[in-house]
Chains A and B, each alone.
Chain A
């Protein structure tokens, strides 16, 4: 079965510092996508970053970057120069790439990130 595990229910970081959120997943597939979504207090789910499993290069989006370790099935999110607006729940998600009815997102339980001024 495909599962996503986020082992850190809560994290905190000082403003302007760097924080890493961990995510591991389990799958027997080789072709898939991994995502980090952010859900601020407004509860609007926002895509932070996407990684295709076939790409060796780690995805980056401004202050957000991932460390994708395919063999270890690890997909951590690094937030650099943390800002107050980064405070949110962060969800890691997985989805198989091939066509079919099982293309739904598999979600982790989330990590609540607090940013301290």
Chain B
């Protein structure tokens, strides 16, 4: 399967600061990237879908000004949590589909965010 990396794997920040999470597809071109949020012992909640070079499509209820997504290249997407608050603490996972293999999504290892 495809390899997807995420950085950082975990981050602790103070309330009010911004945090950037990077997602990279290491061995393929990712035309579409997905950002999920997962609370403990729950399923994945899709936050937004992004295609390279275009604006992300956000799911209902997700604040686009708070969760900024940039998909500037076919191998890199970033999620920036702006003015983070304790309620933003969560596990964030990126996922990609490759141009060649559209059927399956591959997932990054996730980023644990703790906002104090």
Q: Which residues of A contact B (CB under 8 A)?
A: 33, 35, 37, 42-47, 50, 52, 89, 91, 97, 101, 104-105, 107-110, 112
Question: Would you give the 0/1 interface string for B85-116, flagging 1 where the beta carbon is closer than 8 Å to chain A?
Answer: 00000010101000000011111011000000
Asked if B49 CB lies within 8 Å of chain A CBs, one says yes
Q: Which residues of B contact A (CB under 8 A)?
A: 1, 34, 38, 41-44, 46, 49, 57, 91, 93, 95, 103-107, 109-110
Q: Is the CB of B107 within 8 A of A45?
A: yes
CA distance A108 to B110 in the complex (A): 19
Q: Which residues on B sit within 8 Å (CB–CB) of A35? A: 104
Q: Could you say which of A44, A47, A107, A109 contacts B110, with CB atoms under 8 Å apart?
A: A44
Q: Could you say which of A33, A45, A91, A112 contacts B103, with CB atoms under 8 Å apart?
A: A33
CA distance A50 to B101 in the complex (A): 13
Answer whether A47 and B104 are a contact pair too, CB < 8 Å, given A42-B109, A104-B49.
yes
Please report the number of residue pairs spanning A and B whose Cβ atoms sit closer than 8 angstroms.
Answer: 47
Q: Which residues on B sit within 8 Å (CB–CB) of A89? A: 41
CA distance A89 to B110 in the complex (A): 15
Q: Is the CB of B43 within 8 A of A108?
A: yes
Answer whether A44 and B43 are a contact pair too, CB < 8 Å, given A101-B57, A104-B34, A104-B49.
no
Q: Which residues on B sit within 8 Å (CB–CB) of A110? A: 42-43
Q: Is the CB of A43 within 8 A of B44?
A: no
Q: Could you say which of B103, B105, B106, B109 contacts A43, with CB atoms under 8 Å apart?
A: B109
Q: Given A43-B110, A52-B103, 10 other A-B contacts at CB below 8 A? A: A44-B107, A46-B107, A47-B1, A47-B104, A104-B34, A104-B46, A105-B34, A108-B43, A109-B42, A110-B42
A91, closest chain B residue (CB): B43
